[in-house]
Structure 1
Amino acid sequence: MLKPALQLRLGQQLTMTPQLQQAIRLLQLPVLELQAQIREALETNVMLESEDEAGSLETGDTVVELPQFESAAPAQSPEVVEALPETEPADDQDWSENQITGQSDTPWSGEDHSQDFSDNSGETLQEHLTWQLEMARLNERDRRIGAAIIDAINDDGYVIEPLDEIARNLQPEVIASVDDLERVLLHVQAMDPPGVGARSVSECIQLQLRQLDPDTPGRETALQIAETYLDQVAEHQYSLLRRQLRVSEEELEHALVLVRACQPRPGSSVHSVPAEYIVPDVFVRRTERGGWAVDINPASLPRIRVNQGYASLIGRSSDHAMLRTQLQEARWLIRSLEIRNDTLLKVARCIVQRQSAFLENGDEYMQPMILKDVAEAVEMHESTISRVTTNKYMHTHRGVFEFRYFFSSHVAASDGTELSSTAIRAKIRKLVAAEDADKPLSDSRIAEILSQEGVQVARRTVAKYREALGIPPSSDRKRVSVR
C-alpha cells in the first residue's frame, strides 16, 4: 500500500527574471516600436523623465542614466579600435568604440513627435472619387447610389462587386434597379483618374481610349483591340492580329502604342499608402585610415533618465512603496536599454568586420555567414543574435540593409573555399545583364559559366536564384528583346 511521504531534492533551473524578460523584449524591438515603448513608459512612470536639459550630470550624482545619452561636448572623432588580430597591420580595419559621438539637434522626449516618420499625407482613391461625386450635378438618390458604387471600387480602380449585389445592399433605404446603377456608373467612369470604375481590363482600356481625340491615329483600331484582341497582344501574335483586323502594319503600330500607353491599374495613380520609412539603427562609415567605423544612430536613441527630484523624496516608510517600485522599474528599463545598445553595436561591428569585402567591392564579394558564426564571435547565444538582427538596419555607403541581409548559406567552390549564395546571385545578375539580347543565356549555360569560374551549382539552383532575383527565363527575355 502506497503512503504519502515528504522528500527533499536539490536541483538547478534557469529562471527568467522580470529584468531579463524586459531586456529580451526591448532587444528585438525596431526603432519606431522602441520609441513608442519609451513614450508609454514616460507617461506611466513618474520616476522617468526625458533628458532635455543641456549638460551632463556629475559622476557622483545619484541619477541613473545611460552614458550614451549624455550631452556631448564639442564634437570629437570616435576612438577607433582594431578589428583584426594584433598580428595584422594596424591600418587594415578600424572600428569605433562602444560610444556615441554626437546627438540629435533636438532632444528626444515623450511629447516630441519629430521622430515620427509616418507619412499620412495624401488621399485615398475613395476620398478622391467621393469629392468628385459631391461636386457632380446629381440628385440625392443618385449620389447615394454613386457612393455605394465607389465603396465597391478596389485600390486598383475596379468595381469588384456585381451591380445587382450593390443594389441589394442599398435596400431598404434606396430601391434601385440594375439599370439605375448602370446609369450612375457612367458618371463614376467619367471621373478622374481615367479608366476608374471599370469591371474588366478591357473596359478599363476602352474608357481611357474613348477620352482621346476622335482624330487620333489608330484610335478606332485600338478600341477594337481593347474590346476583343487583348489576348493576342499579350501573346505577341501581331501578324495574326493584323490579318484579323485587316489593317496595315503602320495602323496596327499606332493602335498598339495607344493600348500600351493606357494604365491597367488607374487607381494606383491616386491611391495613397502611408510611406513606411526605415530608420537605420547603426551607421557604417569609412575612417581616415581606410578602415570601417560603426556608430549607433543617435537620432534613434531615447534620451531618458531617472527623475532626481522624485527620487530624493523617497523615504523608508511604507507610504513610498509605490514610488520605490517605479524607481526600480525605471532603473531596470535604463539598464535594459544600455544592454540593447551594447549588444546591437557589438553585433553590428562583427558583421561589418566579416563583410568588409562586400563594403569594398559589392555583392559578388559577400562572405558566407550564419547566426552561429556571429554568436561564437561575440560569445552570445544564437537566439540573441536572431533577435538583434531582426528588423534592425545598417546604413552604409552602398545603401540601407537589414542585418539579416548579410547572412546567407554556404556554397562550396571547386578550390575548397565557400561562397555566399548572395554572391552567386550577384554573379547571375551580372551574367544576365551582359548577355546578348538575341541569344539570352539559359539556366544550363549560366551553370556552365559559373562552373568554369569555380562555382559548382546545379541548373535547378540557378533557376531558383534567378526566380528570386525576378529575372524571367531565357525564352521570355528573348521575346521581350525581339519586341
Structure 2
Amino acid sequence: MALGPRLDLRQSQSLVMTPQLQQAIKLLALSNLEVEAFIAEEIEKNPLLDGGGEAAEREPGDTPDEGHDDDGFSADGFGGDDEEWDGPTADRLIEAGDAAADAPLDADYDAETFHHDSAADSARGPEGPGLDGVGSGGGSEERPDLDEYATATLSLHDHLTAQAGELLSGHEMAIAARIIDLIDEAGYFEGQTLEIAQLLDVPLFHVERILSVIQTLDPSGVGARTLAECIAIQAREADRYDPAMAKLIDNLDLLARGAIPQLRRLCGVDEEDMADMIRELRDYDPKPGLRFGGEPAAPVTPDIFVHRTANGWAVELNNATLPRLIVNRSYYSELSSGPQDKGSKAWLSECLASANWLVKALDQRARTIVKVAREIVKQQEAFFLHGVEHLRPLTLKAVADAIGMHESTISRVTSNKYLMCERGLHELKYFFTSGVAAADGGDAVSAEAVKSQIAKLIAAEGDDILSDDKLVELLKEKGFDLARRTVAKYREAIGLGSSVQRRRQRAMKAA
C-alpha cells in the first residue's frame, strides 16, 4: 500500500437544521397567542411582511384557491377521502421547500364551512375583500380594545402604603415601607425584624412596634408571620380572642388532625362551645392578602373549536386569535424596480424568501393542527358524545400512524393548545391517557374515566366512608380491574383525601 497524499471523493448524507426548518418546528409547538407574538417580531424584522390593514396587491395570476374550503379547516365527518388534503404534510414541509419559489397559499375564509364566532373571524371586512395569506382578523377599521375596559386593581402593597402614610411619617414610614416590601401576596411578613433593624440602624423595638401597627391595617390579619398569628389578629379585631380561643388557635395542628376531644380538654369547653369556636374559625381568612392586587389570572384561550353538524364533526382553528399575515408584493415590486447595489438586491431577495416561507409555514401549521385535531375527535368520538367516562386510551404514536406523521410532530402540535367543545375546554394532551384493563377482559378504558368513577363513588358515599379496598371492589363491579395502590394514586391525583382524612373532615363539619 503506497503512502502519500492523494485526493478522494466521498458522498455522505446528513441532516442540517436550517433556519427555516427550525422555524417550522418552533411554530408547531406554539399556541395561537404565542404565534401572534412571534409574527409581531417577524414583521418588525421583515419589511415585506404585513400584519393586515390595507389590501396588498397580488401577483398576476394569484387567485384564491376555491378548493381550500375542506382543506383541513373544516371536518364534515369522517371516512371520505375527498375530505383529506392531499398536499404535503408538515413533515414534508420541514424536510423540503424552496422558500423563494413558494407562493403564499390562499384560502376562502368566508366559506360556509367556516364557523365565524365573531366579526373578527371574517376575512372580509365591511369595506371589501380580505387579504391573501393565513390567519384571521378584521379589516382596517379600528376595533375597541377589550383591555381598556379592565378595571385597574389596587395592589396589596399600594393599599398598605396608603394606610400607613396616614398613621406614620418620617423614619417610621421608612421602616413601614421596608416591612411592607417584605409582605407576600398572601399577606404574610416574610422578613426578620432584627435584619431590618440592623439594615436601617434603628432599635429592634422600633421595628417591632411598626410591625404591630402594620398588623392593624386592612385587610385584617395582614403582616402576620404565621397562620396562628394571622388568625389571632382577626380574632382580636372581632373581640373573640378569649383564653379558650387562644388555646384553639395555638393548637391548629390538632384541629387539622380532627382531634376534637383533645381540643375540648385543652380549651376547657363543652361540645357546643367547641362547635361554635370552630364555626367562628372558619370565618377567618387564612390568606387575607389575596383579595388585593396581583396580576389577574389570564383566561385560557381555545386554539381549536369542535362542534357537531348535520354531517358530523366540524373542527376549526380559533380565527379570532390568529393574526393575518401577507407578503406585501406591491412594496417588493417598488423596491426591486429602483436602483440597487448587489448587497441590497441580495437582502431584498432574502426578505422575500423568508416572508414566503413564513406564510406557507403558518398555513401548513394550521392544516397540521386541524388534521391532528380531526384524528383526536375521530378516536375519542365517544367522549364528545357521552362524556369523560367514555374516554379511550390513546397514544401519540396511534395518532401519528393514523395520519402519516412522525410522533414528535404530534407531540409538538398538542403542546400548549386547547380545544373547546360541548364538554368544555380541554388541553389536547388531555385526550392522551394511559389504559386500564377491563375486569371482564374487554377493551381497556382511559385512566380519566376511572378517575371520574372514583370521584362519583366518593361523592355519593354518604355517612359510610369508602376505604380504598372498598373502592377497588366497587370499581371491579363496574368493570375496572385495578390494584389498591392504583386506586389510591388516582384518588390523590383528583385531590381527594384518604378515608381517614374524609372521616375527620366529616366530623369537623358536624361539630
The alignment's TM-score, normalised by the length of structure 1, stands at 0.85
Match runs of 1:36-435 below 5 Å: 36-53=37-54, 60-61=60-61, 81-84=76-79, 100-102=114-116, 105-106=119-120, 107=137, 114=145, 121-134=152-165, 136-170=166-200, 175-212=201-238, 214=239, 219-221=241-243, 223-289=245-311, 291-313=312-334, 314-315=336-337, 318=342, 319-413=344-438, 414-435=440-461
CA contact (8 A) 2:476 2:482 kept: yes
Alpha-carbon distance in 1 for matches of 2:295, 2:12: 56
Alpha-carbon distance in 1 for matches of 2:171, 2:245: 33
Alpha-carbon distance in 1 for matches of 2:505, 2:210: 41
Q: Any unmatched runs of 5+ in structure 1?
A: 73-77, 87-95
CA separation of 1:226/1:449 partners in 2, compared to 1, >3 Å: closer, same or farther? closer
CA separation of 1:52/1:165 partners in 2, compared to 1, >3 Å: closer, same or farther? same
CA contact (8 A) 1:411 1:418 kept: yes
Q: Deviations over 1:426-469 (max 9, x none)?
A: 1211221222x322221122122222333221111111111111
The alignment's TM-score, normalised by the length of structure 2, stands at 0.81
Alpha-carbon distance in 1 for matches of 2:490, 2:365: 35
Q: Deviations over 1:172-196 (max 9, x none)?
A: xxx3111101111121011111000
Displacement, 1:98? 12
Alpha-carbon distance in 1 for matches of 2:450, 2:205: 59
Displacement, 1:149? 0.9
Alpha-carbon distance in 2 for matches of 1:197, 1:304: 51
What one-letter code is carried by the residue in structure 1 that aligns with 2:500?
S
CA separation of 1:205/1:82 partners in 2, compared to 1, >3 Å: closer, same or farther? closer
Alpha-carbon distance in 2 for matches of 1:377, 1:113: 43
Displacement, 1:120? 8.8
| Structure 1 segments (4+ residues) deviating >6 Å | 56-59, 65-68, 96-99, 109-113, 115-120
Alpha-carbon distance in 2 for matches of 1:38, 1:67: 26
What one-letter code is carried by the residue in structure 2 that aligns with 1:142?
E
Displacement, 1:205? 1.0
Determine helix, strand or coil for the equivalent of 1:286: strand
CA contact (8 A) 1:226 1:259 kept: no
Match runs of 1:471-482 below 5 Å: 471-482=496-507
Displacement, 1:230? 2.5
CA contact (8 A) 1:221 1:252 kept: no
CA separation of 1:101/1:224 partners in 2, compared to 1, >3 Å: closer, same or farther? closer
Displacement, 1:66? 9.9
Aligned to 1:75: none
CA separation of 1:470/1:371 partners in 2, compared to 1, >3 Å: closer, same or farther? same
The total of aligned residue pairs comes to: 454
Q: Deviations over 1:318-349 (max 9, x none)?
A: 34322221111110110110110000010011
Aligned to 2:494: 469
CA contact (8 A) 1:117 1:277 kept: no
Q: Deviations over 1:140-192 (max 9, x none)?
A: 1000000111112122211122210111222xxxx311110111112101111
RCO higher in structure (CA 8 A, sep ≥6):
2
CA contact (8 A) 2:48 2:327 kept: yes
CA separation of 1:85/1:464 partners in 2, compared to 1, >3 Å: closer, same or farther? farther
C-alpha RMSD over aligned residues? 3.2
Q: Deviations over 1:285-310 (max 9, x none)?
A: 11135x32111111121111111321
CA separation of 1:59/1:99 partners in 2, compared to 1, >3 Å: closer, same or farther? farther
CA separation of 1:441/1:67 partners in 2, compared to 1, >3 Å: closer, same or farther? farther
Q: Any unmatched runs of 5+ in structure 2?
A: 82-108, 121-136
CA contact (8 A) 1:100 1:298 kept: no
